Every structure is written in structure tokens, then in C-alpha cells.
Chain A
Amino acid sequence: MRMVSLTVNGAAVSREVEDCMLLVEFLREELGLTGTHVGCDTTQCGCCVVHLDGVSAKSCTVLVLQAEGAEVTTIEGLARDGELHPLQRAFREHHGLQCGFCTPGQIMAGAELIETYPGRLDEHAVREEMEGNLCRCTGYHNIVKAILAAAEEMKPGMVSEQR
């Protein structure tokens, strides 16, 4: 057991942890932030995606000790001062979720994509960049719509027509 200290959703946290504790386990079990989900055991589903030092990362494949001193944002921390993030609003507006299990990972991935993607986003680019996030309910159609809508709201002119 050893101490780990990091910032989660803007708040400094310190806990004693087992060396083998994964970041997702730390978030869910130590901090009670159960919005980040575990959907697989081969790092292939994306349900666990969070923001780690400003970029998306699969929290099931990061040891919490590797996040020592890092800044982590989870789905619970995406809204600011009670205001939903544009992508959260877009998911609701465009019906980008059904059962909701993959949704936190989708939203965290999509938000980071919009934030950091250099250049214009079209449907093709969104579909390519979101391949790491599985969804079994929506067929992806409305997830793509939601991301494009939020991108256009957050960065006017970012979205280009395809074909």
C-alpha cells in the first residue's frame, strides 16, 4: 500500500492504494465516482474513457499510481457550475444514448475529440476517431450527430460537409 495524490474533477485527493489498483477502480471504489464504467477486460470498449492531463485515456489500462500528480476529469466533472457541457446537451438533444452504459465514455471521448482535433470534423472523421468507443444500443448514428452538433456549437466552422 502507498499514498497516491492526484486531482480529480478539480479537487485534490490523496488515498492509500494497492500498487495494482487501476485508475478506474480508484475512481469507482475509492472516490465513489461510479459514472466511469467497466465494459470489457481487453481495453477495447471505451466505456472507461476519462480525461488524463487533458487527453482521453482508458482508465482501465492506467494504474492509479501512474496518475500520481495528474489531473483527471470524469463524466461527473464535465459540467461546470451546474451547466452541462455542450456535448452532454447534444447527446440528449440528438438521442445519442439509450441504456446509458457506454455514454460517459462516449461523451468524454467526444468532448476531447472536439477540443483537440486539428482541423475540420466531418462525419467520416468522427466515425474514424470514435472507433474506440463501442455502443450496442444506438448503432452510432445519433452519437455521430451529437458530436457534430456540439462541435459546431463549440467551434463554429469546425464541421464541414462530407462528400
Chain B
Amino acid sequence: MYPFIYHRPTNLAEAKRLFRTATDASFLSGGHTLLPALKQRLAAPSDLVDLWGMAELQGIALSGGRLTIGGGMVHAAVAASEIVRAHIPVLAGLAGSIGDRHVRHRGTIGGSVANNDPAADYPSAVLALDGTILTDRRRIAADDYFSGLYETAREPDEIVTAIEFPVPLSAGYAKFRNAASRYALAAVFVARTISGVRLAVTGAGASGVFRPAVFEAALNADFRPEALDDVTIDPDALLSDTAATAAYRANLVKVLARRAVARQGVVQIFK
């Protein structure tokens, strides 16, 4: 790694101050995205501001039909949370399917949402559930937050403090894993929300997580897997690499969407 200065602030105000006064700082949370990048010398921040374990970023609470998860909550905690399992079980199941067991003990929802990896699981849940990203300074609707490959509406010094999920009528998640990285080659989160069906695709989009409108329209009219029979996704909008061509991803998206609709309430992982 290139050398950096490490900071462990105890509160958000101190974290922001440290970030702003540094030359070129990065926030550190679970570290399972940032630290591998640093180890391979792909990045060289001057300072690391560690948010791990910060009190203001902890907690899971339900209030007024909305589930709020602190940005510092690790995947294992979300997966095991009685509140999440009771109200949005598929969200708990999704968290329990991220990476492997050891990754889930360190990776955080705030880190995942801030990074917006195009193959990460959480962005699809946040987008499909019509979540709201809470930061140290504002609330950002999911539809306004994810803006491209590794791109979000977050300012460089802005800290994701929590994500708020309206409890849906039902939800389902189906994922097909890359045999090597174990990230999603494609994954589909389908939610029946109070404002209708929302469907978000991760792992496949050339610009990151996205909602295919034709899928939602078909399912809004008829919430059955068969409603997607004649719906297609444009391969040009999808990623293509050695593990999966765009055409194959297009097929996976459709198959996974059907399966997620067919079995609401569960997470289905295919490989």
C-alpha cells in the first residue's frame, strides 16, 4: 500500500472535519472494498477516516412503516436482525447472501451504498424498495441517488448515516452468481410497494443498478411470472465480459425476474 495517515474519529462532526482538512481522504467502513484496492496500489489516499463502529451509524429501528438501518451496520447484523427478518425478510436474506461469512462480519450497508459497485446486492434492494439514503446533511430518494457505474449523488465528504426502507407488501430477490468473484452476474429485486411494483436489476447494467420500466409495467398490470413472457431487455444496456455476454445477462435478468415474482418472500441464489 502507499502510505496514508489513519484517523479514528468518535463522531460524525469530527469525521467530516478530518476529511475536509486532509489532502485527499477516503472514508473507511468495513474496508472490504477499499482495503483490497489499496493493497493492490489502485488508489493512494493521503488519509483514511475510519467510520467503523461509530455510534451515530449504528442501529436498526422500525417506525411508521419504515425500517431504518444505520450505515455502520454489518451485513451479518442485518441478516440476523429480528426486526428486519420480521418486516422485510428478503432484505435480511439478501444481506446474508453478500460475499462470504467473514465478509459479512465486516462489510457495512453504508459502505456498500456509498460505493455502488455495479454487482453489489444492496443497491438493488434500496432501489426496488424505494428506499431513502440518509446522509449527514440530507435525505436522497433512491431514484435520485444511484447515478452510474460506481457513481452516486453523494458529495465526496458526505457520509451515509442510514438507509430507510418502507416496508413493502412483498418482496423477492433472485441472484445468479459469478463462479469466481461470487458477485452477481445478474440479480433482480422485485418489490410490491404501496406505489406499485418496483423491480431493480444489479450485476447486469452497463451503468449500474437500474429499473427496467417495461418489466415494471408488465408486472403492475399482472403480477405473475407469465406477465414477463414477452418482455425483453435490450442487451446494449447490459455489461458484457468473459463470464457473461450481454445476451446471456439479458436472459438471466428475465429468468431471475420471473423466479423472484414466483417466489416472493425468499432469496433465491443460483450458480
Q: Which residues of chain A have a CB within 8 Å of any CB of chain B? A: 2, 18-20, 22, 41-44, 46, 49, 52, 55-58, 60-63, 65-66, 68, 109, 113, 118, 129-132
- Contact residue among B4, B50, B102, B106 (Cβ-Cβ distance under 8 Å from A20): B4
Mind listing 17 A-B residue pairs with CB under 8 Å?
A: A20-B2, A20-B6, A41-B36, A41-B40, A42-B36, A42-B40, A52-B105, A58-B106, A61-B35, A62-B106, A63-B31, A63-B35, A63-B50, A109-B102, A129-B101, A130-B101, A132-B102
What residues of chain A lie closer than 8 Å to B106, measured between beta carbons?
Answer: 57-58, 61-62
Q: Are A57 and B105 in contact (CB under 8 A)?
A: yes
| B24-66 interface bits toward A, Cβ cutoff 8 Å, 1 = contact, 0 = none | 0000100110011011100000001010100000000000000
- In the complex, A49 Cα to B105 Cα: how many Å? 11
- In the complex, A39 Cα to B45 Cα: how many Å? 25
Contact A58-B103, Cβ < 8 Å, known A19-B4, A19-B5, A68-B8: yes
Q: Are A131 and B102 in contact (CB under 8 A)?
A: no
Instruction: Knowing that A22-B39, A58-B32, A61-B36 touch, tell me 19 more A-B residue pairs with CB under 8 angstroms.
Output: A2-B6, A18-B3, A20-B4, A41-B39, A43-B103, A46-B100, A52-B105, A55-B105, A56-B101, A56-B102, A61-B31, A62-B35, A62-B106, A63-B48, A66-B52, A118-B80, A129-B101, A130-B101, A132-B102
B225 lies within 8 A of chain A by Cβ = no
- In the complex, A2 Cα to B3 Cα: how many Å? 13
Closest B residue to A130 by CB, please name it.
Answer: B101
Q: Are A19 and B3 in contact (CB under 8 A)?
A: yes
What residues of chain A lie closer than 8 Å to B17, measured between beta carbons?
Answer: none
| B78-102 interface bits toward A, Cβ cutoff 8 Å, 1 = contact, 0 = none | 0010000000000000000001111
Q: Are A132 and B105 in contact (CB under 8 A)?
A: no
- Contact residue among B2, B80, B100, B105 (Cβ-Cβ distance under 8 Å from A131): B100
Closest B residue to A64 by CB, please name it.
Answer: B6
- Contact residue among B8, B31, B48 (Cβ-Cβ distance under 8 Å from A62): B31
Interface residues of B in 151-184 (CB under 8 A from A): 181-182
Closest A residue to B31 by CB, please name it.
Answer: A61
B204 lies within 8 A of chain A by Cβ = no
| B1-24 interface bits toward A, Cβ cutoff 8 Å, 1 = contact, 0 = none | 111111010000000000000000
What residues of chain B lie closer than 8 Å to A44, measured between beta carbons?
Answer: 181
The number of inter-chain residue pairs (CB within 8 angstroms) is 79
Closest A residue to B106 by CB, please name it.
Answer: A57
- Contact residue among B6, B32, B100, B105 (Cβ-Cβ distance under 8 Å from A19): B6
Closest B residue to A46 by CB, please name it.
Answer: B102
- In the complex, A130 Cα to B101 Cα: how many Å? 8
B76 lies within 8 A of chain A by Cβ = yes
Closest chain A CB from B23 CB (angstroms): 15
What residues of chain B lie closer than 8 Å to A55, measured between beta carbons?
Answer: 76, 105
Contact A20-B3, Cβ < 8 Å, known A61-B31, A63-B35: yes
Q: Are A65 and B36 in contact (CB under 8 A)?
A: no
Closest B residue to A61 by CB, please name it.
Answer: B35
- In the complex, A147 Cα to B39 Cα: how many Å? 32
